[in-house]
Structure 1
């Protein structure tokens, strides 16, 4: 694309984003975007295919700033605190950008390109892996990611759907801590996982070994690594 084409595209996205933030999805009409961006309607369709394509582009651009913020956050020594901060930032992003958030997470079947949320999920996966490597996870990494994503998205959409004056300020923290209690195990004074009897400690150690297994690729054969992975998943209670 030429610089002029890129400038026109960015102007259209910026205009649509401002309309979306002020008036929600219904405010982003062809006529309104054309007027705000100073372009003819056919230009929008040449650039984005249709209005859904434009909305997808707006969602991606809005999410990109949040993803950059998450990616540049300095990591804490305690991985669970990083997870807690990540949850809080995700909810705050949704409440600050309710219309864009609903486009991304509200109805995935309407998204022409679901890549808008992939970077966010990749960052969550990285935070969960850190918790696993530290021996703080008592469920498999994929299962923990699914639980955190489902709960975080669900609570954010619930808060968005509730008028600000009626929102329960304790809801997000209560949901967060309930999920954390289900997936994590507390450390002892020497840093080893504790806080769950018997199988809970075994699961935490199995998940930790599973998370770092790829760091020793030449020690076991492919078949041995596959078998060990199955055993570790079973010890972790993995259902995937």
Structure 2
């Protein structure tokens, strides 16, 4: 699908519109929302911002970060600490994310999820306790390079940065990851595969990208 236009929107109105869209989902099942984007685009910030307004609308909410479901360092860093292809292919423990978070929220699931699995800084299990999300509750999962993996979700949101903005705003210590994001654009095309695409070059002035 081709992008036809960008609609400027304030950060507050973006949160409001996403909240309304999620809150309108039928309460007979869970709503899994994936907020995807490079860290510089702020997917965690947006996911956090949705928690309070969704709870105000009577929805139970659980926040999970894909960054808490990385593989152990022995697997993640097998090809070194700055390999962009390994970052793209091998860092996320996709199986654990499906098994412990997304799978239990399938129709007929238990609703029992693990909010965090692995502390990548200490390189050990978090030992976080399981939590129950009642039927009709909302899972807000933030992360990077999440799309194109077939992860089950009711709504996917991608925060898009132009190549120039990503290069400008990327953490200097993480600039080695830039080729992975370029590969993501080529292979996954998140601007066309996500349900909602937000241009986030200027965090103060985002824009919703309308697709046809």
**What TM-score, normalized to structure 2?**
0.27
More strand by share: 2
More helix by share: 1
**Highest relative contact order (Cα 8 Å, sep 6+), 1 or 2?**
2
